[in-house]
Amino acid sequence: MSTATEEQITIETARKLGLLPEEFEKIITILGRTPNFTELSIFSVMWSEHCSYKNSITWLKTLPKDGPHMLAKAGEENAGLVAIGDGLACAFKIESHNHPSAIEPYQGAATGVGGINRDIFTMGARPIAQLNSLRFGNPALEKTKWLMRGVVKGIGDYGNAFGIPTVGGEIFFDDCYNVNILVNAMSVGIVKIGETVSATSYGEGNTVFIVGSSTGKDGIHGATFASGDLHEDSHEDLPSVQVGDPFMEKLLLEATLEVIKTGAVIGMQDMGAAGIICSTSEMSAKGKHGMRIHLDKVPTRQANMKGWEILLSESQERMLVVVKKGEEDLVRRVFEKWDLNCTEIGVVTDGDRLHFYMNNELLADIPADDLVLGGGAPIYQREYTEPSYIAKNKAFNIDTIVVPEDLKKVMVHLASHPNIASKRWITSQYDSMVGTINLTTNRPSDAAVVEVRGTKKALALTTDCNPRYVYADPETGCAIAVAEAARNIICAGGNPSAVTNCLNFGNPYNPEVYWQFVHAIKGMSSACLTFETPVTGGNVSFYNQSKNEKGEVPVFPTPTIGMIGIIADKKKIMTLDFKQEGDTLFLLGTARNDINSSEYLYSYCNVKNSPAPFLDLKEEFNVQQLVKNLIAKGLVESAHDVSDGGLFITLLESALPNGLGFKIETDEDLRKDAFLFGESQSRILVSVHAEKLDAFVELVADSELDFINLGEVTSDQVMIDETNYGTVAEFKELYENAIGKLMC
* Strands 717-720 and 661-664, bridge-based pairing: parallel
- What one-character DSSP code corresponds to residue 322? E
Burial of 609 (0-12, 13-18, 19+ CB in 10 A): middle
Compute the half-sphere exposure of residue 297: CA atoms within 13 Å on the CB side of its CA. 17
In terms of residues, how long is the chain?
744
> Phi-psi region for residue 169, left (φ > 0), alpha (ψ -120 to 50) or beta?
left
Query: Quick check: 410 and 678 in contact, CB under 8 A?
Result: no
Give CA torsion, residues 409, 412, 416, 421, to 10 deg: 130
DSSP codes of every residue in 107-147: HHHHHHHHHHHHHHHTTTPEEEEEEEEEEES-TTSHHHHHH
β-pair partners for 563:
462, 499
Which of 418, 364, 352 minimizes the C-alpha distance to 136? 418
Helix (H, G, I), strand (E, B) or coil at 416: coil
Q: In angstroms, rounded to a whole number, what is the distance separating the alpha carbons of residues 56 and 467?
A: 19
Which of 292, 178, 314 minimizes the C-alpha distance to 241? 314
DSSP codes of every residue in 192-256: ETT----S---STT-EEEEEESPB-STTTTHHHHTTS---TTGGGGGGGS----HHHHHHHHHHH
Query: Quick check: 118 and 249 in contact, CB under 8 A?
Result: yes
Q: In angstroms, rounded to a whole number, what is the distance separating the alpha carbons of residues 565 and 551?
A: 42
Which of 658, 653, 703, 650 minimizes the C-alpha distance to 677? 650
Residue 479 CB neighbour total at 10 angstroms: 27
Which of 396, 297, 461 minimizes the C-alpha distance to 595? 396
- What one-character DSSP code corresponds to residue 557? P
Spatial CB neighbours of 230, under 8 Å, sequence gap ≥ 6 = 99, 102, 103, 179, 180, 543, 545, 546
Q: In angstroms, rounded to a whole number, what is the distance separating the alpha carbons of residues 92 and 189?
A: 6
Which of 695, 690, 699 minimizes the C-alpha distance to 628? 699
Q: In angstroms, rounded to a whole number, what is the distance separating the alpha carbons of residues 716 and 252?
A: 51
DSSP codes of every residue in 596-661: TT-HIIIIIS------PPP--HHHHHHHHHHHHHHHHTT--SEEEE--TTHHHHHHHHHHTTTT-E
Query: Quick check: 323 and 236 in contact, CB under 8 A?
Result: no
Helix (H, G, I), strand (E, B) or coil at 545: strand
Q: Which residues are catalytic?
A: 50, 97
Q: In angstroms, rounded to a whole number, what is the distance separating the alpha carbons of residues 151 and 495?
A: 32
C-alpha distances (whole Å) from 68 to each of 110, 279, 450, 500, 528 are: 34, 31, 22, 16, 13
Instruction: Give the strand order in the sheet containing 318-323.
Output: 265-270, 318-323, 207-212, 341-349, 290-294, 353-358, 361-367
Q: In angstroms, rounded to a whole number, what is the distance separating the alpha carbons of residues 448 and 494?
A: 11
Which of 231, 261, 439 minimizes the C-alpha distance to 334? 261
- DSSP H/E element including 528: helix 511-531
User: What is the maximum alpha-carbon separation in the chain?
Assistant: 85
Q: Quick one: three-class SS letters along 361-391?
A: EEEEEEEHHHHCCCCCCCCCCCCCCCCCHHH
